[in-house]
Each structure stands twice: as C-alpha cells, then as structure tokens.
Amino acid sequence: MKMNAIVAGVGMTRFGKMLDTGLKGIGAEAVNAAIKDAGIQSSDIEAAFVGNAAAGLVTGQECIRGQVVLRSVGIGKIPVINVENACASASTALHQAAAMVTAGLYDVVLALGVEKLYHEDKRKSFSAFSGAVDVEALSQIMERLKEGAKETGAAAASTGAGENRSMFMDIYAAAARNHMKRYGTQVQQFARVSAKNSFHGSLNPRAQFREKLTVEDVLAAPMIAEPLTRPMCSPIGDGAAAVIVVSEKKAAQMGIQSPVRIVSMALHSGWDHTGDEPGTVELCSREAYAEAGLGPDDISVIELHDASAPAELMAYESLGLCKKGEGGPFIDSGATWLGGRIPVNTSGGLLRKGHPVGATGIAQIVELTEQLQGRSGDRQVERARVGLAHNGGGSIGSDAAAMCVTILVR
C-alpha cells in the first residue's frame, strides 16, 4: 500500500527481563516517550492501534490489552484497536495506523507494540511460540522437524523443541541446513551475522545484550539446534515501542522540518507454494519498492527480522540485496556492517537488541527513524536517507504466516 504518513515521534524501552514490571508499566514508558518526542499532548491522539502477541498466554490479559495499557497513562475515549499477528503484530498495528492517516480519517494516530515474554515458568513463554503455527497440525510439524534433524545428523535438534527452546529455532535450523546443502553456505557465515549484530548492539544503550562477540565466540557457544549456537538465536524479552504518525496537514501545523515519511508498506500472509516460487518476503519487498519508486540500491539502512542468524542471511537474498544463494559471500563482504554499503540491523537486531515479539516491528521503525534523523550516536549511518524494515511472524507450510515490509524516506 502506498502511504503518506509522517513519523512525528518515537519512543521505546530497553528490551530485557522485566519480571517485576507489567504490561502497563512497560507500555507506558514507550507511549510517554513517543508523545514527548512528538511534542504533543496525549489528548491530541485521535486513535490507537496496539500490537501484542502473547499477553493472553503469558500474563492472562486477553481481549482489551490496548485499553488496559493506554488507560494507565490517561488515554481513553478514543478508538483503541487491538492487533495480534504473531511477531508481525507491531508492524501490522503501524500499517493500520499509517493507512488511517493516509486515507484522511485521522490526523494523529498512535501505534504501540508491547510484550511480556519472561515468566518464571519457561514453558509458558515457549508455549506462545508454539501457538504461532497451525496447532491442529502441531504434532505432525514436530515430528517432521525431529525426522529432518535425525536425517541430517543434527543430534541437538532431534529433541527439546518447544520445551527448553522456541520451536521456531528448530524451524530456522532446518532452513539453515537446507541452505547449506543447496548453496554451500558455511556455518562461519551464519556466525558472522551474529558477530556483526553483537558489534552493532554494543553501541545501542537499549539493546538487551551489549557484549561484543567474535565469530569464534559464536561458534564456541552452546549448541541449540544444529547449526544454531545460542548467539545465533534471538532471545525472548520484555519491552515496548511506540510511534506517533500524523498527516501532512498536521505535520505542517506542528512545524516538522525534513519529515520522516512512511511512503510504502506491504503486508501479506503466506500461501501454499512449492519449489522456487517467490514467497512472502519477495512479494512484500517488490511491492514496497514499486510503491516507493525505489529499489534495493537506494536503501541506506535496514532493520530486518533476524530471529536467527540464518534468517538474516536468507533475507538478504529475498530483499534483493544479493542473488539467491549468495547470502554467505554477501555477509563476508562486510557490506552489511556499519560503514559498509548497506548497514543491516544497526540496532543489534533481534539477536542482540532482543525480541519481545509484539513490540519488534515498531522497534525497527524507532531505529530507522532515529537513523534518518541523525540521532543514532555511535551507530549512526552516514547520510542515511531511506530506511527499510522487514518484519515477519508465524509459520504455515514453508513460509511466514504474516510479513510486512516498510519503507521510510527523509
């Protein structure tokens, strides 16, 4: 969808473990920060879209999650729409907010993503991820993962999925083994993604993990599901991120100079496809590029959904940064590091910034907005003008259940 929504303000919490803070406290911090950044009053907000994926399972808060969080900061009366779309919940909420502004229905809209995943019972946290596949086919999915692991000699991946780790790490591990077999990708190249993102995360005060890792450190870490070691897997986390989007008319009234515009957002769900047919990422990115009148070579900085290190490497290919099968050499080239041709995940990505699933999509927009405004400090990308966010969620068949690609321009 071609958009014309302007980012007036952004805010987010640090991501991490917040056992003693509830959804309301976490969400309030991000909302208040975004309101302050925009220089508006909460009473100026005309509607809100709130993304959350797992509160019902983890905290027991169902049905009115957005209303509960927003009422705690004095926001009521306005329409509040709760959005759940797996790990793409926040980007879907932003898609709806930007569409409403683009259509002229509202001038000031809040998009919030908020999540609590940490729980004293880890099985409750992991159950949230097990619900992001077709649960009626769950036993068959688990069996296929186990059989695939055994056939490839992946001992660690043959047991424990969904019990001591998210089953999605096994899904990513299977995809990684396939990529290695088909294209000759090396485990060192997956490790290099983690090392890069650890360097970027070390520069981000809001990142969950700030320790710098080498390729050797990544490879020496405990094995989770072959070939994924622990630093190749995104952690669970708690956190929130918020964006205030406004119309062109409102931005002019506010005196916003050199605005950051959301110019296109492509949101699609997966479908049944086979072989080498392009999937959701290709569909969304091509649509977003076309609507923005831009291409991969025009992008200054990218925040993409590195729920695992192999996921980032494969996204390079699907987003058109390199050809299919060339993600390994592409990470080796240094192009996606700070200072490279097209820096990716300057925030540290999901691997280091963290992955509170219902907040992730908007956290990407916070990072890109600050990059385009020159507010990113030590991790600033020089002359950043165009940003791209890639945020997917859930799994059905061989593809993501939901996918959103967003392009912002200053």
Cβ atoms within 10 Å, residue 199? 18
Burial class (CB in 10 A: 0-12, 13-18, 19+), 114: buried
Q: Are strands 239-246 and 301-304 parallel, antiparallel or unpaired?
A: unpaired
211 assigned to some structural domain: no
**Whole-number Å distance between alpha carbons of 26 and 35:** 15
26 assigned to some structural domain: yes
Q: What is the DSSP string of 27-62?
A: HHHHHHHHHHHHT--GGG--EEEEE-SSHHHHT---
Q: Model confidence over 42-69: pLDDT tens digits? A: 999 999 999 999 999 999 999 999 999 9
pLDDT tier at 157, thresholds 50, 70, 90? low
pLDDT score for 166: 81
One-letter amino acid at 86 equals A
Q: Contact at 8 Å (CB) between 246 and 6?
A: yes
- Residue range of the domain that includes 354: 2-120+236-409
**Whole-number Å distance between alpha carbons of 223 and 329:** 24
216 assigned to some structural domain: no
In three-state secondary structure terms, 187 is helix
The count of domains in the chain is 1
Q: Model confidence over 94-138: pLDDT tens digits? A: 999 999 999 999 999 999 999 999 998 888 887 878 889 999 998
Residue 403: which CATH number?
A: 3.40.47.10
87 is catalytic: yes
53 assigned to some structural domain: yes
* Residue located via tokens 């993962």: 145
Residue of 95, 305, 355, 390 marked catalytic: 355
pLDDT score for 303: 99
388 assigned to some structural domain: yes
Tell whether the model's pLDDT for residue 274 goes beyond 90: no
145 assigned to some structural domain: no
Residue of 87, 233, 284, 404 marked catalytic: 87
Which is more confidently placed, 205 or 122? Answer: 205
pTM above 0.85, yes or no: yes
State mean pLDDT over 316-345: 98
Which is more confidently placed, 24 or 128? Answer: 24
